[in-house]
Amino acid sequence: MRLFLAPPVLLLALPLSAQEDSGSFQSGWYVGASGGFSNADASGSDVSADLAGLGYPDITTDLDDTDVGWKAYGGYRFEAPFAIEFGYADLGTIESDISGMVSDLTAFLNDVSAIHPFNGEGVTAAACWFPVRTENFQGMIKGGAWAWEADVDVQAAGASVDVDEDGVDGFFGIGLLWDLGNDLSLRAEYEQYYLDSEDVRFLSAGLQYRFR
């Protein structure tokens, strides 16, 4: 799935091309939820090549690095083009099936656990900037950190190995909010989350509600 190859800046094309509204920003608390697709840009050939480098030349890997993800969040918008936001994101999982002949299954499973790619889930904290606002649209840029954990069950050489990882890393994103009226907005985003040496892109859409 190559939705993630499109330039993310296209999400901001509409509000950036419109005339900015000079009115005041509406402050207050808000909540929202979104769903979409995650992609880790990993491949079965990459995993097989890594294992070949560790001394397993006859390995075949079937890997799916695209999955459904979701997030829920809440934040506070100031009377300025800024907000703070906290949430929880689940980027889905990476599924794979690794097959081949190995002489030492225990050592092989340990090596698979060390090199296998993963997605994660965890809590997020971000600062948001709204550089452009029109009557009905807002463009958003955000960045922050998230505390994540990953748990992947991999089928390898007829056995199962559990990949467990966790950490704290950064993420960033851009988004577009479309005012639907009655304090409800449609929010579409492109985000990139970092997990150690991995990075996962997340394209999502959902609804956001502002409290008066």
In tens, the pLDDT along 164-182 reads: 889 999 999 999 999 998 8
Q: Are 127 and 141 in contact (CB under 8 A)?
A: no
Cα(35)–Cα(92) distance, rounded to whole angstroms?
11
pLDDT of 112 higher than 60: yes
Query: What's the farthest any 2 CA atoms get from each other in the chain?
Result: 70
For the chain, the average pLDDT equals 86
Q: What percent of the chain clears pLDDT 70, i.e. is strictly above it?
A: 88
Q: Are 177 and 138 in contact (CB under 8 A)?
A: yes
pLDDT of 123 higher than 50: yes
pLDDT at res. 115: 85
Q: Which of 56, 67, 73, 63 is nearest to 96 (CA)?
A: 63
In tens, the pLDDT along 7-51 reads: 444 444 444 444 444 444 678 999 999 999 999 888 888 898 999
How is the chain split into domains, by residue range? 3-210
Q: Are 50 and 198 in contact (CB under 8 A)?
A: no
Instruction: Grade residue 140 by pLDDT with cuts at 50, 70 and 90.
Output: very high
pLDDT at res. 25: 60
Q: Which long-range contacts does 44-53 make (Cβ < 8 Å, 24+ apart)? A: 44/96, 46/117, 47/96, 47/98, 47/115, 47/116, 47/117, 50/115, 51/98, 51/111, 51/112, 51/115
Q: Are 168 and 146 in contact (CB under 8 A)?
A: yes
Average pLDDT of the residues in 48-66: 89
Average pLDDT of the residues in 134-159: 89
pLDDT of 202 higher than 80: yes
pLDDT of 5 higher than 50: no
pLDDT at res. 4: 43
The more confidently predicted of residues 154 and 130 is: 130
Give, in words, the CATH class of 3-210.
mainly beta
Q: Which of 33-37, 76-80, 105-109, 148-152 has the highest mean pLDDT?
A: 33-37
Cα(166)–Cα(151) distance, rounded to whole angstroms?
9
pLDDT of 103 higher than 90: no
Average pLDDT of the residues in 89-114: 87
Cα(18)–Cα(132) distance, rounded to whole angstroms?
9
Instruction: Grade residue 100 by pLDDT with cuts at 50, 70 and 90.
Output: confident
